[in-house]
């Protein structure tokens, strides 16, 4: 996913992360070598709910594996960075991460538009990245050796949504709104192309800007066109307001969106307006398995928060990273591996079983086992009800 906004003042969270990055650069703790894993996600701003959930998921993964790494002679430490959903801040953070040689991997980003420029820095510094949520095709299509993701791509998610819209919801006339970001535009374009191929007519397209709060002009255009369905490519902060204002205008046709809407924040903002809203997500229902239920219980006990869509994906992304790290340590005869060795070991993973995901990377860093899930809201309560699952 992606969000772009103006330059923001450095937050206390990012200041703290910077201080941590400058201190204990390598070194030892209790006689063991410290290995740091970073998260780089929005911890402030409109989409902090999802960014924080990734960080907390990663934190739980490190806590679960600290004892195993201690036996190998290493102390794991999480270093959380706040990218604010801003590409400039994400790149600035990436530069700091690259300078701290004790950081051997990154979990993140939330937003594709942040991951794309930041990962150029990671590639230069041989710092491996595992993303729980970046769906833009460009993230992995550039062929960078350090970039991996455990979630599905937009060219899988968009067509899955279009197929459901046309063949299940019987939408023949569709209006598209998108937020003009790498994520929103990419997803909307993939949805549009697939919907047209399936025989649907696109009545119109409108772009909004991240941070907008008044969508009356766009919605008046929607009302004039009277579509069977409205598709929104964007994130929950704007999507929730859009839904609420649409229902106020008696636009009661189904609305649909992507994984950027998969957050409790959507329900907080839109309330009852989420009814008859459908969304595709690259995140599966954590509570469907016993392992997932235990994860949710552990997460709630530790952080006093309910899981979000990407909580378990933050956990599994960190798990994949730590699996590669262990392999690299073994291949280095128990010594601290190089960043290049860790990156190669992560990319080589083929059969990792996580809380909700199975992971096997192809030569571009895409997960061969990624799925797309379809949800709807029957009431103003998160999470939504799963109504479909699509496997390649």
Write out residues in the chain with pLDDT < 50, as ranges.
Answer: 1-26
Closest CA to 282 of 40, 46, 44, 50: 50
Which pLDDT value is given to residue 392?
Answer: 78
User: Running DSSP on this structure, what letter comes out for residue 134?
Assistant: -
Fold classification of 154-281+373-391 is: Rossmann fold (3.40.50)
* Count of residues making up the chain: 392
Provide the β-strand partners of residue 33: 28, 74
Is residue 144 within 8 Å of residue 119, measured between CB atoms?
yes
Report, at the CATH architecture level, how domain 12-152+289-361 is classified: 3-Layer(aba) Sandwich (3.40)
User: Running DSSP on this structure, what letter comes out for residue 263?
Assistant: S
In the block, residue with structure tokens 């739980």? 60
Which pLDDT value is given to residue 28?
Answer: 52
Rounded to an integer, what distance in angstroms lies between the CA atom of residue 233 and that of residue 191? 9
Is residue 177 within 8 Å of residue 218, measured between CB atoms?
yes
Is residue 39 within 8 Å of residue 58, measured between CB atoms?
yes
Provide the β-strand partners of residue 90: none
Helix (H) or strand (E) holding 56: helix 48-71
Closest CA to 278 of 162, 133, 137: 162
Alpha helices by DSSP H, 147-225: 154-163, 182-197, 216-225
User: Running DSSP on this structure, what letter comes out for residue 24?
Assistant: S
In the block, residue with structure tokens 């591996």? 337
Rounded to an integer, what distance in angstroms lies between the CA atom of residue 281 and that of residue 309? 9
What Cα–Cα distance (Å) separates residue 227 from each residue in 64, 204, 272, 279, 299? 49, 9, 21, 18, 42
- Report helix, strand or coil for 74: strand
Give CATH 3.40.50.2300 domain extents, the chain. 12-152+289-361, 154-281+373-391
State yes or no: cis peptide before 383, omega within 30 of 0.
Answer: yes
Task: Supply 183's token pair.
Answer: 């994520």
């Amino acid at each position: 996913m992606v969000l772009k906004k103006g330059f923001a003042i450095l937050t206390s969270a990012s200041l703290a992360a910077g201080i941590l990055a400058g201190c204990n650069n390598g070194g030892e703790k209790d006689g063991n070598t410290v290995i740091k894993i970073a998260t780089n996600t929005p911890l402030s701003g409109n989409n902090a709910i999802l960014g924080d959930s990734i960080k907390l998921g990663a934190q739980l993964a490190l806590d679960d594996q600290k004892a195993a790494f201690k036996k190998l002679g290493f102390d794991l430490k999480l270093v959380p960075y706040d990218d604010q959903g801003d590409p400039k801040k994400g790149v600035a953070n990436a530069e700091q991460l690259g300078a701290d040689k004790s950081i051997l991997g990154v979990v993140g980003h939330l937003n594709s538009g942040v991951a794309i420029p930041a990962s150029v820095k990671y590639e230069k510094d041989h710092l491996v990245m595992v993303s729980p949520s970046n769906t833009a095709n460009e993230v992995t299509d550039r062929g960078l050796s350090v970039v991996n993701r455990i979630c599905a791509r937009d060219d899988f998610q968009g067509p899955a949504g279009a197929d459901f819209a046309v063949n299940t919801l019987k939408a023949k006339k569709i209006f598209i709104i998108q937020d003009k970001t790498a994520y929103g535009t990419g997803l909307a374009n993939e949805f549009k192309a697939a919907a047209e191929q399936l025989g649907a007519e696109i009545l119109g397209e409108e772009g909004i800007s991240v941070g907008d709060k008044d969508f009356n002009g766009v919605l008046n255009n929607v009302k004039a066109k009277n579509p069977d369905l409205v598709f929104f490519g964007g994130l929950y902060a704007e999507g929730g307001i859009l839904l609420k204002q649409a229902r106020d205008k008696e636009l009661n046709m189904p609305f649909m969106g992507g994984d950027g809407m998969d957050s409790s924040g959507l329900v907080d903002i839109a309330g009852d307006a989420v009814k008859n809203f459908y969304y595709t997500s690259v995140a599966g229902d954590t509570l469907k398995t016993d392992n997932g239920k235990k994860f949710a219980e552990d997460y709630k006990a530790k952080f006093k928060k309910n899981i979000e869509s990407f909580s378990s994906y933050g956990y599994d992304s960190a798990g994949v990273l730590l699996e590669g790290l262990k392999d690299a340590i073994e291949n280095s005869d128990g010594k601290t591996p190089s960043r290049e060795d860790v990156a190669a070991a992560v990319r080589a993973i083929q059969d990792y079983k996580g809380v909700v995901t199975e992971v096997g990377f192809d030569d571009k860093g895409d997960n061969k086992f990624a799925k797309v899930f379809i949800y709807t809201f029957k009431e103003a309560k998160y999470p939504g009800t799963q109504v479909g699952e699509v496997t390649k």
